[in-house]
């Protein structure tokens, strides 16, 4: 990974590809690289869908190697949803493939000269960019089938659906899984809209003839990799809970804690919770002939995904994740897994962030467009987005826009981005992360739920303000560094509880690159990434006032514990004072 591929979509005669060495970006990967390029090369006041913005797609430092769990991809740009810097993260095959092809990043830049749609093909022999308007308006599933017919069943795809073409702020970038299904998404922040603004429909990757990336010190890398795998397998979350029930194992846990946002963040518990829990989901999948344990890319050993099939055993979608089950389930008052799976399929096909869309549908229900619990109405609303009707375009631009259009007060967003599946009144640490992360409301930016609820990495009372700022700060720093390695965020569970597992990751990086990084160095990388992101947002017009939760979280008590968010504003302003 010693070069950057840049595609100028506004070049005379059509998009033009050039390759350049990493230069000043040497030593960076994943989020560290996307945020560095966006921070340095994108004017903070530029329009997110204009010529000044750039879409950066970057595998992590260890992607394309034999390191387990190293297949995450970062996608960065100025966000059309938040107006600030953004990194969205995805699993799937493309990260490993792009890294083995030797690219540290793909950068889409410039403004198209017309409305021609393009596909990009990359293999060991180079890059081919072709105009192909036959791809217009295709859903991700039909698109990938068409690509397979042309390029075979060994390629990996990065693509957008109709939502991205229509430049909706909830649009995602899709990544194919091991079965070449477009089920993994860089969902947050409208990265699909930025890709759509560049008129690139799909990037096809073929690493045939390419070998695994080779470490500088094979022995040290191999030994560290073995300890890494052992650490992940012995931890109860990464070695037992996630493989057995997927991320949806959290549904019963968060519901019992009274932190499960229900009916558009009105309540903290959902009566229909057991019908959509991870345990019920796994039983359903097994009984129908699906899979409850499955990896999203080669090299995954946690295997928190699965295959969801209908009552006749026909494939519907990948196993809906916890966030998706909550967003289209409890948050909308829906307790039907088949309905949730169908909406998940539609979101993936249209290219939409399931968190943003679930929050948006709940806000629409609050506005009276449908009743809470009406699954068919929810499906119909998502289909409006796919068709691009007037209503669909409102919904496709997210919860904040929908709330403004329909006059809803209770709109759970920060910096324009919808909150995920943890109510910050009952998990105050995640509330600090939602409020202060440069990314907008994002649980993965600093997953305080681990410590607040699960007791991983210590214990901080979830409903008291004490200790939450320090907890969120430390997790945001660690996460920014972890997002740069290409590692799945779920490895953090084992790293927080097992210092030797954290050290194994550092040793893998050192063994691969011939470096001598320490824990302090990793910490400093995380701080540097966050500083770049904060500086970009400040120059884009963000102030301390943007690092706040919506007012209703402070004034409306959440049942069953009847608590409000009570971390003080002046304390929120101390998160980045390290």
Three-state SS for 520-567 is HHHHHHHHHHHHHHHHHHHHCCCCHHHCCCCCHHHHCCECCCCECCCC
Mean per-residue pLDDT for 85-93?
97
pLDDT, mean of residues 239-264:
95
pLDDT tens per residue, range 270-317: 999 999 999 999 999 999 999 988 888 888 989 889 999 999 999 999
The yes-or-no verdict on residue 481 having pLDDT over 80 is yes
Residue 25 has pLDDT above 90, yes or no: yes
Query: 220: buried, middle or exposed (CB in 10 Å: 19+, 13-18, 0-12)?
Result: middle
Of the chain, the percentage scoring pLDDT greater than 70 comes to 100
Decide: helix, strand or coil at residue 577: coil
Distance CA 73, CA 56 (A): 10
Pair of tokens at residue 416: 């324009």
> What pLDDT is attached to residue 299?
84
In this predicted structure, what is the pLDDT of residue 487?
Answer: 94
* Residue 405: Cβ within 10 Å count: 15
* 498 pLDDT tier (thresholds 50, 70, 90): very high
Q: Residue 1: pLDDT above 80?
A: no
Q: Of 420, 511, 455, whose CA–CA distance to 225 is shortest?
A: 511
**Residue 296: what pLDDT?**
84
The residue-averaged pLDDT of 97-103 equals 97
The whole-number pLDDT of residue 466 equals 97
How many helices (H) and strands (E) are present in the chain, helices listed first? Answer: 24, 17
Assess whether pLDDT exceeds 90 at residue 88. yes
Query: What is the mean pLDDT of the segment spanning 408-425?
Result: 98
Cβ-Cβ contacts under 8 Å for 87 (sequence gap 6 or more): 31, 34, 35, 74, 75, 76, 439, 483
Q: Quick check: 542 pLDDT over 80? A: yes
What count of other Cβ atoms lies within 10 Å of the Cβ of residue 552? 15
Average pLDDT of span 245-251: 93
Give the pTM: 0.97
Q: What is the pLDDT of residue 281?
A: 96
Give the pLDDT of residue 298: 80
| For range 128-144, the mean pLDDT | 98
Question: What pLDDT shows up at residue 2?
Answer: 86
Rounded Cα distance between 126 and 222, Å, is 31
What was the pLDDT predicted at 158? 98
Residues 6+ apart with CB under 8 A from 332: 263, 264, 358, 361, 362, 365, 372, 373, 378
Asked if residue 340 has pLDDT above 80, the reply is: yes
In this prediction, residues 491-511 reach a mean pLDDT of: 96
Stretch 212-232: mean pLDDT: 96
Q: What sections of 152-246 are H helices per DSSP?
A: 162-165, 191-197, 218-234, 236, 242-245
pLDDT computed for residue 475 by the predictor: 97
pLDDT of residue 401: 98
Across the chain, mean pLDDT equals 97
Q: What is the mean pLDDT of residues 511-530?
A: 96
Name the fold adopted by 217-243+424-578.
Answer: 1.10.599
Asked whether the beta carbons of 406 and 369 are under 8 A apart, the reply is yes
First to last CA, the chain: 32
Q: In terms of DSSP H, where are the helices of 241-318?
A: 242-245, 250-256, 278-288
Helix (H, G, I), strand (E, B) or coil at 439: coil
CATH 3.60.9.10 in the chain: give the residue spans: 3-205
Q: Give the pair of three-digit tokens for residue 539.
A: 């120059």
Q: Span 396-415, mean pLDDT? A: 98
C-alpha span between 24 and 116 (Å, rounded) = 34
Q: What CATH number matches the domain at 3-205, 3.60.9.10, 3.40.50.300, 3.90.79.10, 3.10.180.10?
A: 3.60.9.10
Q: How many CB atoms lie within 10 A of CB 508?
A: 29
CATH 1.10.569.10 in the chain: give the residue spans.
246-423
Average pLDDT on 480-502 reads: 94
CB 77 within 8 A of CB 96: no
Q: Report yes or no: 96 and 64 within 8 Å, Cβ to Cβ.
A: yes
In this predicted model, what pLDDT tens digit does every residue of 157-177 receive, in sequence order? Answer: 999 999 999 999 999 999 999
* CATH number of this structure's domain 246-423, picked from the four choices 3.60.20.10, 1.10.569.10, 3.40.50.2000, 1.10.10.10: 1.10.569.10
pLDDT at 329 over 90: yes
Question: What whole-number distance in Å separates Cα of residue 295 and Cα of residue 303?
Answer: 4
């Amino acid at each position: 990974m010693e070069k950057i591929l840049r595609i100028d979509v506004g070049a005379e005669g059509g998009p033009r590809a050039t390759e350049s060495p990493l230069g000043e970006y040497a030593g960076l990967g994943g989020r560290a690289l996307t945020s560095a390029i966006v921070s340095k090369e994108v004017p903070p006041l530029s329009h997110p869908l204009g010529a000044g913005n750039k879409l950066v797609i970057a595998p992590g430092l260890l992607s394309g190697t034999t390191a387990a769990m190293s297949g995450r991809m970062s996608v960065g740009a100025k966000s059309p949803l938040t107006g600030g810097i953004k990194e969205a993260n995805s699993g799937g095959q493309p990260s490993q493939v792009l890294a083995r092809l030797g690219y540290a990043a793909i950068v889409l830049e410039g403004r198209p000269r017309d409305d021609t749609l393009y596909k990009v093909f990359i293999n060991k022999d180079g890059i081919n960019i072709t105009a192909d308007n036959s791809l217009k308006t295709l859903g991700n599933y039909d698109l990938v089938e068409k690509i397979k017919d042309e390029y075979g069943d060994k390629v990996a795809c990065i693509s957008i659906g109709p939502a991205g073409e229509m430049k909706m702020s909830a649009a995602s970038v899709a990544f194919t899984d091991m079965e070449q299904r477009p089920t993994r998404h860089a969902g947050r922040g409208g990265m699909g809209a930025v890709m759509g603004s560049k008129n690139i429909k799909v990037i096809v990757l073929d690493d045939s003839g390419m070998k695994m990336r080779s470490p500088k010190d094979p022995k040290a890398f191999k030994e560290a990799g073995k300890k890494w795998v052992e650490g992940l397998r012995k931890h109860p979350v990464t070695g037992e809970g996630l493989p057995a029930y997927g991320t949806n194992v959290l549904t019963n846990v968060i519901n019992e804690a009274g932190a499960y946002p229900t009916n558009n963040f009105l309540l903290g518990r959902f009566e229909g919770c057991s019908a959509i829990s991870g345990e019920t989901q796994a039983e359903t999948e097994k009984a129908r002939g699906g899979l409850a344990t499955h990896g999203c890319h080669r090299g995954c050993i946690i295997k928190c995904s699965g295959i969801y099939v209908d009552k006749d055993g026909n494939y519907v979608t990948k196993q809906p994740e916890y966030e998706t089950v909550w967003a289209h389930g409890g948050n909308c008052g829906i307790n039907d897994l088949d309905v949730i799976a169908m909406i998940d399929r539609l979101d993936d096909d249209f290219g939409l962030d399931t968190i943003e869309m679930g929050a948006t549908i709940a806000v629409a229900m609050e506005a009276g467009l449908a009743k809470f619990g009406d699954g068919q109405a929810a499906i119909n609303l998502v289909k409006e987005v796919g068709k691009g009707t007037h209503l669909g375009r409102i919904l496709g631009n997210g919860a904040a826009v929908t709330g403004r259009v329909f006059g809803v007060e209770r709109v759970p967003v920060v910096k324009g981005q919808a909150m995920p599946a943890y109510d910050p009144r009952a998990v105050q640490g995640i509330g600090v992360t939602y409020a202060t992360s440069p990314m907008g409301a994002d649980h993965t930016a600093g997953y305080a739920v681990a410590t607040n609820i699960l007791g991983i990495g210590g214990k901080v009372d979830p409903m008291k303000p004490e200790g939450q700022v320090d907890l969120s700060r430390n997790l945001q720093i660690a996460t920014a560094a972890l997002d740069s390695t290409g590692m799945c965020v779920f490895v953090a569970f084992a790293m927080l509880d097992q210092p030797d597992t954290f050290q194994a990751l550092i040793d893998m990086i050192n063994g691969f690159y011939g470096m001598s990084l320490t824990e302090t160095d990793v910490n400093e990388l995380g701080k540097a990434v966050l500083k770049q992101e904060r500086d970009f947002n400040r120059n884009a017009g963000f102030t301390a006032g943007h690092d706040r939760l919506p007012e209703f979280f402070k004034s409306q008590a959440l049942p069953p514990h009847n608590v409000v968010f009570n971390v003080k504003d002046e304390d929120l302003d101390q998160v980045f004072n390290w």
